[in-house]
Amino acid sequence: MASLKDIQKRIASVQSIKQITRTMEMVATAKIRRATDRIVAATPYALAMVEVLQSVASRSTGFENPLLAQNSGANRMVVIVVVSDRGLAGGFNSNVLRTADRFITRMKAEGVTCDIIACGRKAIGYFRYRKLPVTLAFLDLSSDPTFDEAREIAATVIESYEGKKIDQVNIFYNHAKNVAEQVVTTEQILPITKVAYHEVGEGESEAIHLDESAKAAAAGASERLAQARRRAEEISSAGAQQGGFEYEPSDEAVLNELLPAYVETRIFHALLDSAAGEQGARRRAMKSATDNAIEMVSTLKRVYNRARQGAITTEITEIVGGAAALED
């Protein structure tokens, strides 16, 4: 059995870890709001672009942009993997990496080569360990992605796709279903077969205990998301009331300009979605670690008290035994 001093040292160590995890939980809670705000700010623009693209595509009969055409014969595709630069976020990174790895393995078995674009330090390290070459990598941007990052990725894949060097582009990331739950998502970026966006959901997916700051962040995120949806609906209804839009110089010219912008925006939206999911996953993981630390300290204190009581009992027994021996 461990000595009293050893148990005291372990209690102090666990309490120190608890302070760190609690602090990280509070930091992640604060960052959730900023990450969600960025998605909310991008959502009306993204949804309006979807509306315009659907309108233009429906009117552009007999015209096909290269980004809409199905390439075949190259037996090569691009896989974009979006994870975080740091760990301590539960299964946030491993779930995406395993899903992407299984997909790459399956494509390789079918004779298709996959070029990997890694967004996040964890993805770069994982694929290097697996000895899979990374053609394009981005570091230290997972929690605060930039549009320049999305533009560079989009320019690379569009150039390859229009040159018929690749047949398909897929992106793997964690969709922030709400502020507490993340869902591994796979989307086909090219060729463009449908125009759609994931939105961060409202509320909590399950009962979890939140402090006041976390509750305020969740409530604020839900309200701002509702406002973004109402704004998108207003944009859509305005177009419908006006009987549609007229495009200059032509529907095809507008489509040629919008499709590359749509690819950039869709990739950027995925990066923002993953950033919000990262903070939610880290807050959840740190809260679980804090709760476990509290329970461990309680258990160790009980062990310490039992050991101390046993030591006192032993000392009393020895004293009584010694006194009895002197009397004899």
CB distance 121 to 252 below 8 Å: no
What domain range is 181 assigned to?
31-283
Note the pLDDT tens digit of each residue in 37-95: 888 788 777 777 777 777 776 666 556 778 888 887 778 999 999 999 988 888 899 99
What's the predicted TM-score (pTM) here?
0.77
* pLDDT in the model for residue 325: 77
Residues listed for the chain: 328
Domain assignment of residue 2, yes or no? no
Q: How far is CA 251 from the centre of its chain?
A: 36
CA distances, 99 to each of 79, 135, 291 (Å): 11, 19, 29
Domain assignment of residue 19, yes or no? no
Per-run averaged pLDDT (10 residues), the chain, 328 residues: 82 92 89 82 78 70 72 87 91 93 93 93 93 92 90 93 91 85 89 65 38 49 55 52 61 79 90 90 90 92 86 82 76
Residue bearing tokens 């959502």: 43
Domain assignment of residue 3, yes or no? no
Give one DSSP letter per residue of 39-98, joined into a string.
HHHHHHHHHHHHHHHHHHHHH-TT---TTTS---SS-EEEEEEE--SS--STTHHHHHHH
> How many angstroms separate the CA atoms of 72 and 159, rounded?
16
* pLDDT in the model for residue 124: 94
Q: Which amino acid is at 274?
A: S
Domain assignment of residue 11, yes or no? no
* pLDDT in the model for residue 47: 77
* pLDDT in the model for residue 30: 85
* pLDDT in the model for residue 209: 38
Q: Which residues pair with residue 170 across a beta bridge? A: 79, 188
Q: Which amino acid is at 20?
A: I
The total of structural domains in the chain comes to: 1
* pLDDT in the model for residue 180: 74
* pLDDT in the model for residue 37: 82
> How many angstroms separate the CA atoms of 275 and 220, rounded?
18
Domain assignment of residue 243, yes or no? yes
Domain assignment of residue 312, yes or no? no
> How many angstroms separate the CA atoms of 317 and 205, rounded?
58
Q: In what order do the strands lie in the sheet with 113-119?
A: 134-138, 113-119, 76-82, 168-176, 182-190
Q: Which residues pair with residue 93 across a beta bridge? A: none
Domain assignment of residue 308, yes or no? no
Domain assignment of residue 9, yes or no? no
Q: What is the CATH number of the domain that holds 190?
A: 3.40.1380.10
